[in-house]
Amino acid sequence: MPSFITKQQKVNPATVTGWGVDADPRNDPTYPYRDRAGDEERAMTWDRPSLQEPRVEVLRSIEHNRLPAVFGTSVPPRGLSGSIRRIAFGYSESDWRHWLMLLAADRINMVEGVLGDLLQGRIPNLPAEMGLRAEWKHNKTGLVRKAAVLAAASALALMLLSRRKRYRR
């Protein structure tokens, strides 16, 4: 037998912390809910709760016949991002186009929000909204790496743009 293959050792369950903690139904807080005897009768008499009335446009997957009894939406779809979301919900959730369009709509919605702030005379605090303080506190190396990549990409873009202008002259 090669040296890197080891035999599994048997573990004594009594030595494992928390082993068998839910073995006694009197000590299990979920026990009454797990007892499914007689559920067949209750399942047939269950009344569906009254449906929440939508006050804004709620986009729904084509896989579902109706909205759930209770739902929520943080922001109703509007603008270019809303149009992209409406188109995305025309595709199945198993289709990659559905998810890519929703990702694009999220990014476009962010830009729309920044432009909306600027049009209302507010300057958005982008570093705070992007969580740079938390990133610096908890992931300094990742933040420095992202800043270096951004600086390199910006330098490359400036170099290519300046080279293009020189060739035009």
- The predicted-structure confidence for 43-101, as pLDDT tens digits, reads as follows 556 677 788 888 888 888 888 877 877 787 777 899 999 999 999 999 999 999 999 99
**What sign does the CA torsion over 137, 140, 146, 149 have?**
positive
Question: Residues 6 or more apart from 51 whose CB is under 8 A from it?
Answer: 66, 67, 69
User: Is the pLDDT higher at 38 or at 64?
Assistant: 64
- Looking at residue 147, its pLDDT comes to 93
Q: What is the pLDDT of residue 9?
A: 63
pTM, 2 dp: 0.55
pLDDT bracket for residue 1 (50, 70, 90): very low
| Residues 135, 82: Cα–Cα separation, whole Å | 30
Helices (H) and strands (E) in the chain, counts: 7, 0
What angle do the packed helices 79-88 and 96-119 form, to 10 degrees? 170
**pLDDT exceeding 90 applies to what percent of the chain?**
41
Is the confidence at residue 40, as pLDDT, over 60? no
What is the pLDDT, as a whole number, of residue 120?
95
